[in-house]
Amino acid sequence: MRIILWLVLGVLVILALKKKARDMQSRTFQTPPEAEPSSSPSAAPGHAVRDAEDMVSCAHCQLYVPVSEAVLRGELHFCSAAHADLHTH
C-alpha cells in the first residue's frame, strides 16, 4: 500500500515538473505574440478607412458605387460608362 503512495507521489512530481516546464515554455512563446498585436491596431484603422471608402450615387440610376469605381463625367458620378453616356446624350 505504501508503494502505491510513493508511485502516486512520483507521478504527481513528474506531472508538476512537466507543467512547470510547459509554463516556462509557454511564457517564452507568449512574449513574441504579445509584440504582434501592437502592430495590428495601427493596421486596423487603415483597413477601416479602406472599408469606409466614399460612396457616390449614379446620377442616372442612383446606384451607390465606391468613388474609385465610379465613372466621373464633369461634376457627376455614374455607376458605369454606359450610364455616363446615357446622361450626356
**How many CB atoms within 10 Å of residue 29?**
9
Closest CA to 65 of 83, 38, 85, 89: 83
For the segment 60-79, give every residue that binds Zn ion (CB under 5 A): 60-61, 63, 79
**Terminus-to-terminus CA distance in the chain, angstroms?**
101
- Comparing CB distances to Zn ion, the nearer of 9 and 55 is 55
Q: List the interface residues with Zn ion, window 25-64 (CB under 5 A).
A: 58, 60-61, 63
Smallest distance from the beta carbon of 33 to Zn ion, in angstroms?
47
Binding site residues, Zn ion, CB under 5 A = 58, 60-61, 63, 79, 83
